[in-house]
Structures are given as structure tokens and as C-alpha cells.
Structure 1
């Protein structure tokens, strides 16, 4: 039609589906541990209460890119640890590692 504007046509000419198998998978043994972090968010330091099935382990604090920024030795089945005094403002994760098993990470936030 004269003077009615432009007509644009588009389409897909080539479409392929690929199937494959993952090259590598890692099975992580999950540790059953109770972690209570408070206050969250925190401005100076945060208290981490923990409860484990056995003695000895490590509490790890890591940042968004996976770098470990604090580690604390755990020598009892239950107890408390203060973290965060030297951390910059930001988002972190806390987890416990014990006998090759890793707990679910808990998100904590440090504010000004």
C-alpha cells in the first residue's frame, strides 16, 4: 500500500539441538550443623552460635567471589564465635567444615 509505512519481515533459518553429558560432577558431603548468626545485618561484629555432632572443625567466612576472609578453629561440639571485626561492608557467607563435610552456608551482611 502506498504511503502506509515500512514492512519488516524476520525469521529463523537455522535451528539445532545438542545433547550432551556433563564432563565433571562433584559430590559434596553435607554436614548436619546448626548455625545461628546474629545480629544480621551487623555493623561491628556478629556472634555465631554453633552445634555439631562431634568436636573439631573449622568455621569459615567467605565473600561473594568465594575467597576465605576469616577462619576459626572449633574445638567443642557447641559454642560461640565472634566474627566480622576486620571485615569491610558487604555480603558474606558462613559455613562449618568438619571431617571432609561442609555445612550449608548462611548469608550474613555487614553494614556501616
Structure 2
């Protein structure tokens, strides 16, 4: 289970025990915004926007950041995944699409 806070923290919790599994930190979003984070469709990654206009991805297994992208948005408020694929879109007052470079993700392609 994911929990986001107004001060830029993203917590991954065990949904059965309620124990904290990992915590990630990003620049907080503005007061009138909500920080959104989501799991990738296969549950291996957590992706979140940030108050600095970046999108960050972390490995759930290792807890380490695996990627970070600059967006054209000041704060990407919404992150939604395409079902069953490693493609997501971010949105606020603008819309951005991210298409993976599969040569860099070869270790993950074809795994379930």
C-alpha cells in the first residue's frame, strides 16, 4: 500500500501488517496540490511526481531510485499506467507521455 504526505514523503506499507517497508522522499508539491504515487502494473516499481517538476521511479525490491525524468509540467499531479505495460502518462494542466527505451529495460521485458 502507498501513502503520500504533504511534505514529500512516499511510504510503502505492508497492507496486512501495517509495517513500513520503505520510504522515498521528493520535493514537496505546492499547498494546493496533492502528491500522487503509484505502483507499476507488475508491482515492481513506485513512480511519483515531485514539486520540482521531475518524475521519479524506485525499485520496490531494493528501495533505490532507478530513474528520474524532467517533465514540462511544474508539478506532475497525476500518474497513470497503461494496463499491462511499462508505459505511463503524467498530467496536470499539460499532458506528457513516457515511452521506455526497451534496450535499457531488456532485463524486464517479457517477465511476469
TM-score by length of 2: 0.28
TM-score by length of 1: 0.28
Structure scoring higher RCO (CA < 8 A, sep ≥ 6) equals 1
Structure showing greater Rg: 1
